[in-house]
């Protein structure tokens, strides 16, 4: 199991809080349990979480660039793949805290960036390896588990992919139980495609499903998750998350997964092609 750090300073988010993160998590929670409360909160701002394969943060100015794009696109929580930082820890940088998990070498690495207004709700940090990191946040009605994943590419055997899925499921069994709303973000290096599958994949995906895409669907089916960015009709430029340098083809490799029971809390999911961090991936943003 992954090492866990419990942050005793974390506080429960209350509806009257003027912190934007408090409203964000409170609103996500109430939609499942209190319809009238949710109606009363319609006047509040919507909130966004996202995921982005940034290629590297191990260059001068890249972190500042990333924070600028978060602010510009009003993203409160951002999962990041391929940060290429060694070791594990957290740093404060301006109005953001960066929780990161890298390996012995600066090759892969994942991180979650959190706005200052949301940090006080973080009660647990789950640091696994250079492919998985998670945060648990305390809200008034249900806890929120946010996990960032960077799946192996096609160069790796399926056994390596299965190991990552096994670790994710261990975390879900330990920290995503009961009423916890689990949100799993990341670069899955798989294509679920545009063919619907039960209540997991909608009809607005991109491309043709491949073997790794089926593995992702099987994982979702076992754990009661949906692939949110296949359920919203968008032009292709708002669907694709990756395009190789020098190639004209668009691919959808990054996804935001949520529990099926909380699917109505997701109001929109799309890429933001205008965001730029010198990566071959687009940022993918979900609005709650």
Per residue in 75-116, pLDDT (tens digit) is 999 999 999 999 999 999 999 999 999 999 999 999 999 999
Pairing type for strands 75-81 and 48-53 reads parallel
Closest CA to 288 of 199, 204, 183: 183
pLDDT of residue 50: 99
Sheet holding 132-137, edge to edge: 4-6, 122-127, 132-137, 144-150, 181-187, 254-259, 225-227
List the chain domain ranges.
Answer: 4-287
Residue 191's Cα: distance from chain center in Å?
17
Average pLDDT, the chain: 89
Token couple for 265: 């809390």
CB atoms within 10 A of CB 53: 26
* Burial class of residue 56 (count of CB atoms within 10 Å of its CB; 0-12, 13-18, 19+): middle
In the predicted model, residues of the chain with pLDDT beneath 70 are 7-45
Q: Which residue(s) pair with 111 in the sheet?
A: 80, 100
Could you please state the CATH topology (level 3) that the domain comprising 4-287 is classified under.
Answer: Deoxyribonuclease I; Chain A (3.60.10)
- pLDDT at position 34, please? 54
Report the pLDDT value the prediction gives residue 17, as an integer from 0 to 100. 31
Q: Is residue 54 within 8 Å of residue 82, measured between CB atoms?
A: yes
CA angle 280, 283, 285 (to 5 degrees): 160
Give the per-residue pLDDT at 141: 80
pLDDT digit string, tens, across residues 129-156: 999 999 999 987 889 999 999 999 999 9
The C-alpha atoms of residue 255 and residue 202 are separated, in whole angstroms, by 12
Torsion sign over Cα 136, 24, 46, 178: positive
The helix (run of H) or strand (run of E) holding residue 26 is: helix 20-33
Q: What is the distance between the alpha carbons of residues 74 and 157, in angstroms, rounded to a whole number?
A: 38
75-81 and 110-115 as β-strands: parallel, antiparallel, unpaired?
antiparallel
DSSP output for 163-188: HHHHHHHHHHHHHS-TT-EEEEEEE-
Alpha-carbon dihedral angle through residues 249, 57, 121, 77, given to the nearest 10 degrees? -20
């Amino acid at each position: 199991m992954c090492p866990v750090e419990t942050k005793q300073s974390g506080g429960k988010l209350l509806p009257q809080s003027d912190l934007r993160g408090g409203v964000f998590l409170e609103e996500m929670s109430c939609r499942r349990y209190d319809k009238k409360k949710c109606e009363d909160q319609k006047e509040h701002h919507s909130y966004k979480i996202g995921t982005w394969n940034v290629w590297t943060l191990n260059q001068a100015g890249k972190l500042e660039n990333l924070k600028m794009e978060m602010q510009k696109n009003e993203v409160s929580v951002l999962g990041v793949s391929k940060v290429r930082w060694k070791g594990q820890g957290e740093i404060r940088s301006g109005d953001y805290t960066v929780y990161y998990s890298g390996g012995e070498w600066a090759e892969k690495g994942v991180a979650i960036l959190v706005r200052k207004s949301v940090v006080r709700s973080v009660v647990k940090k789950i640091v696994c390896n250079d492919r998985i990191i998670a945060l648990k946040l305390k809200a008034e009605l249900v806890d929120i588990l946010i996990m960032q994943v960077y799946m192996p590419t096609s160069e790796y055997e399926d056994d390596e992919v299965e190991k990552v899925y096994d670790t994710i499921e261990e975390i879900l069994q330990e920290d995503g139980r009961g009423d916890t709303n689990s949100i799993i973000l990341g670069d899955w290096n798989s294509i679920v495609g545009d063919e619907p599958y039960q209540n997991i994949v909608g009809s607005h995906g991109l491309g043709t499903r491949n073997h790794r895409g089926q593995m992702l669907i099987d994982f979702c089916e076992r754990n009661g998750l949906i692939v949110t960015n296949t359920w919203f009709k968008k032009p292709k430029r708002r669907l694709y998350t990756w395009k190789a340098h020098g190639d004209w083809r668009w691919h959808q490799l990054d996804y935001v997964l949520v529990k099926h029971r909380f699917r109505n809390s997701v109001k929109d999911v799309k890429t933001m092609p205008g965001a730029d961090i010198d990566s071959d991936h687009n940022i993918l943003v979900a609005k709650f």
